[in-house]
Structures are given as structure tokens and as C-alpha cells.
Amino acid sequence: MAVIHDTIQAFELFQPSSIEDALALKRRYGKTSWTFAGGLDSLDWFKDRIKRPEAVIDLGSIEELKGIRSTDDGIEIGALTTLTEIVNNADIRERFSLLSDAAAKVATPQIRNQGTIGGNLAQDTRCWYYRGGWPCYRAGGNICYADTPTSINREHALFEANRCVAVNVSDTAPALIALDAKIVIRDSSGERVVDAEDFFMVPAIDIRRMTILEPGDLLTAIRIPNTWAGAAFYFEKVRDRQAWDFALVAVAAAMKLSGTTIDDVRLVVNSVGPRPLRLTDVERQLKGQPHSEDVAADAGELALLGARPLQHNAFKIPLMRNLVRRAIRDVEA
């Protein structure tokens, strides 16, 4: 009988206790290094022997990357904060419940206990061909196995496909974009802060990455400004099973109302493209409109402009239309 060894390819393990030491290691090992947070995504890759880094930099001992702090203008969440801490944090539940609701929908309690917010944002796509080690475009090859007439592609993209039709599956990402969050990134030359909306990558720019993170970068924190604190929120994720599963479509909305008029709104859909999709045309159309069933239904229709279904994912079109409609109609203060 064949003996299957579930062994991981050997690597050097580093456990720095400061951001500076982690960045020095990233500078030293460059593309051959791997940042390791909760390990949920990372260990899958290593055990399947598809990703084979030389140096693994485990962030687990860096205290300054952990925890949730109030700031003058909102809240700052360290990249190594677990999803469970985010779900349970009273301040986030009070002011930014869109994020705690989204984090609560990630996978299972065990995964939320171990998985970090930084890892959730930086996680790779779940296209099963790519995850299975098939040498597709994203893996450096010259074909997409998911986009042929016989491919199974029911989880794949409606928007922004370009050779690769894989989607972003982070549940916290659309919530953070709706809240106008900022992502704090450090490399050895200093810190830069980008809008969460601009953190994600499309294949037309770089097919090998899901985010703008470069090999020398560390995501250190997420800052949520008070702009949308206490607004009306809506998060909904539809998946095949109500046990742990990735979204087929997810929607996050933040809305400010004056009486029954929509003053301002941010609307983001995920798992329909390579990055979370902010629906700015729909947002523009909604501002100044009455908060009504008809306006919500029109928003659902407008959201679909430009959608291009594949062989097996056309069901995502009515699904997305209905989620957008419900997000506008049922948003709760």
C-alpha cells in the first residue's frame, strides 16, 4: 500500500518580536519569504506543497500588531487581531457593527479564533484549479482552467475578469471598504496608508497577486475613521451551505438617512470579481432619493451593468440583484 506523507517542504522559520525585525527579514529573503499570521491559508499551501518558501516569517510574537485601539478619529485594528476579537469587541459592535457582522460570517468559530484580520484581507483566491496546483495563468502558466466550455466555474467572476476569472472571497473586505477604512502598510523605507478600496489587485494589472502588497511589505493595521460610525448598515453573505463556506455573493452597505431620504451611501459587493466591487454608479444614483422599495429595486438593476456570466455562474446575476436590493431596502440603523 502506498504511504502518503503529508509533509511540508523544509523552510527556515523566523519568529521576530518587532516589526523592524520582521521587515529586515523580508528585505533579506524578498520573494522567497512568506509572511505567516494565523496560518489558515498558509498551511494549506505548504501542506499541498504548492507554495515552497525558503523563509517563513511568523508574526505571532509581535505584540504591536495585536489589539483594537480607539484613536482621535475612529479605531485602529492591529493586523494580527483575530476575527473573534473583532466579532466580540464592544466598540466595534457599537459603532461599526457592519465589520463585526461580516467577521462573524467567516468560516467557523475555530477559524475565527485563529484567523487574523490581516490574513483575511491578504488571503489568496479559492479557485479550486489553482488551489489544486494546476499550472494556470495565476500560477505562472499559460491557460485558465476555469474558463473553458467544460470548466466548473459556478463560484467565479461576473466582473473584471482578464484571463483569470477567480474572485476575492474575504468577508471583511467589503465591510471595510463600505466603512471607508484605510490600510496601513510598512516596508523598510516607512509607512504608507491606502484606502481599503485601493488595496486589492485586478489581474489586468498583476495576475499573480490579490493585493497591492509587495514582497517587502507588511500590513500592520487597519484604521476606520468615524465618518460612518453609527450609520445604518447591512451585511449579507449567500453561500451554498449555512455551515462554513465561502460566499457566492456578499454585500455590504453603509447608509446615512435624513428622515426617509438617502443622504449618503456606500455599497460594496464581493465574490463577483477579483476584488471587492464598490458600486459607485449605484451610490451616485441613490443619493437624494427616497428610501423606498422602488428605489432599492432600481439599484439592484443598475448594479448589474457590465456583468458577464461564465458557463455556470449566471445564477449570480439574480442573486446579486436581490442582495443589492435587500441591502438598500433593509438597511438598519
Residues at the site binding ligand SF4, with contacts judged by CB under 6 A: 125, 127, 129-130, 136-138, 144-147, 164-166
Nearest distance, CB of residue 170 and ligand FAD, angstroms: 5
Residues 15, 21, 27, 41: which binds ligand FAD (CB under 6 A)? Answer: 41
Q: Give the one entry of ligand SF4, ligand FAD, none that residue 130 binds, where binding means its C-beta sits below a cut-off of 5 to 8 angstroms depending on kind.
A: ligand SF4
CA dihedral 31, 35, 40, 42 (to 10 degrees): 20
Nearest distance, CB of residue 54 and ligand FAD, angstroms: 14
Residues 14, 26, 29, 42: which binds ligand FAD (CB under 6 A)? Answer: 42
Torsion sign over Cα 245, 250, 254, 259? negative
Nearest distance, CB of residue 115 and ligand FAD, angstroms: 3
Q: Give the one entry of ligand SF4, ligand FAD, none that residue 165 binds, where binding means its C-beta sits below a cut-off of 5 to 8 angstroms depending on kind.
A: ligand SF4
Residues 81, 153, 168, 170: which binds ligand FAD (CB under 6 A)? Answer: 170
b/e 126-152 (16+ beta carbons within 10 angstroms → b):
bbebbbeebebbbbeeeebbbbeeebe
Please state, in angstroms and rounded to a whole number, the distance separating the CA atoms of residues 150 and 145: 9
Q: Which of residues 72-91 bind ligand FAD (CB under 6 A)?
A: 79
Alpha helices in the chain (DSSP H): 19-29, 40-47, 83-88, 90-95, 97-104, 109-114, 117-122, 128-131, 172-178, 280-286, 293-303, 316-329
Query: What residue ranges bind ligand FAD (CB under 6 A)?
Result: 34-42, 59, 79, 106-107, 111, 115-116, 118-120, 122-123, 169-171, 213, 218-219, 244, 246
